[in-house]
Amino acid sequence: MLATDGWKQYVAPLEETHTTSLNFKKGAQGLSVSFTIQVGKNERTSEETTVYYSPVRLNFALAIPDDATDIVFDEHRPYLNVATAGTVDGTLDFFRKELAARGWTSLSATDAAKQWPNAKLEENAKNGTAAYFVRGTQRPIVLTIQRRDDGKTNAEIKVPPFAQAQTLEKGEDTFGLPRPKLIKTVPAAKPGMKCMLRCLSKSLSCWRSIAASSRRVTGKEAQGAISPRTTSCSTSRRRKVRQCSGSATNTI
């Protein structure tokens, strides 16, 4: 039913097809289908089968040929491996057009060397060819197309080795097993945003001071105002946060 509507079934890398959990892809849409089966009078019959449909977010919605089979796809990173009946040239043209429509452009050896000094673009593949693409600041991808002995054409898209992590730092072990250290970076904040973040950080310190003062007061002091120092701190910080907020709004 889903196949007739254009949905392509796939499995994730290093996984096998499950009988009670299936993954499908159609364009930029992903779908997860799972089943629960209530056993009937014997193990070969069932009283009731329930089907669950859940949308799946595809971070990399790579195109798939209409006649593709043996689809291996990773929705979290650019990886795709399919078999098609098309020729090497025809499959290359298909992916060139589809990748271009999604903002990917050809990556030359000269441009690759500027950002990845160890880049080595190999465009000759056994019984086929290879092409490299890049989009914005994302890591490049390599499309490798090869003619198989059974007459089908295999196409694979992945991040080339030179654009992958070259060194890994050891992180904390998980259940006694080694794990690499994960490093995440964020883009630099704009001037107005930096000001706002500084003010918010200082305001947090002031509110902590106010809370500490409130906890210390007892008896009649509890009905009075908080000490002038903390009140002044709170008022000035609120004023600066408003000023920074306006500055950040103008710069974002």
Q: What is the mean pLDDT of each run of 10 residues along the chain (252 residues)?
A: 86 83 89 82 71 87 92 93 96 96 94 90 88 94 95 96 83 83 54 58 58 46 45 50 46 35
Instruction: Show the tokens assigned to 137.
Output: 């600041």
86 in a structural domain: yes
Same domain, 34 and 74: yes
Q: Can you tell me which residue has the tokens 């994302």? A: 138
Residue 63 host element (H or E): none
- The distance from CA 127 to its chain's CA centroid, rounded to whole angstroms, is 33
Cα–Cα distance between 62 and 142 in angstroms, integer? Answer: 13
Same domain, 158 and 197: no
Q: What is the DSSP letter of 190?
A: P
Same domain, 202 and 150: no
Same domain, 47 and 114: yes
What pLDDT was estimated at residue 128? 94
Same domain, 149 and 248: no
What pLDDT was estimated at residue 146? 96
Same domain, 102 and 141: yes
What pLDDT was estimated at residue 194? 56
Same domain, 238 and 123: no
What pLDDT was estimated at residue 191? 53
One DSSP character per residue, 110-163 reads HHHHHH-TT-----EETTEEEEEEE-TTSPPEEEEEEE-TTS-EEEEEE--GGG
252 in a structural domain: yes
Same domain, 137 and 247: no
213 in a structural domain: no
Same domain, 128 and 198: no
Angle subtended at Cα 137 by Cα 136 and Cα 143, rounded to the nearest 5 degrees:
70
Cα–Cα distance between 74 and 66 in angstroms, integer? Answer: 18
**What is the number of domains present in the chain?**
2
What pLDDT was estimated at residue 196? 58
For 164, how many CA atoms within 13 A lie in the half-sphere containing its CB? 8
| Domain end position, chosen among 163, 183, 214 | 163
Same domain, 151 and 237: no
Same domain, 52 and 149: yes
Among 180, 179, 141, 143, smallest CA distance to 161 is for 141
224 in a structural domain: no
Same domain, 159 and 195: no
43 in a structural domain: yes
20 in a structural domain: yes
88 in a structural domain: yes
87 in a structural domain: yes
Structural domain that includes position 109: 3-163
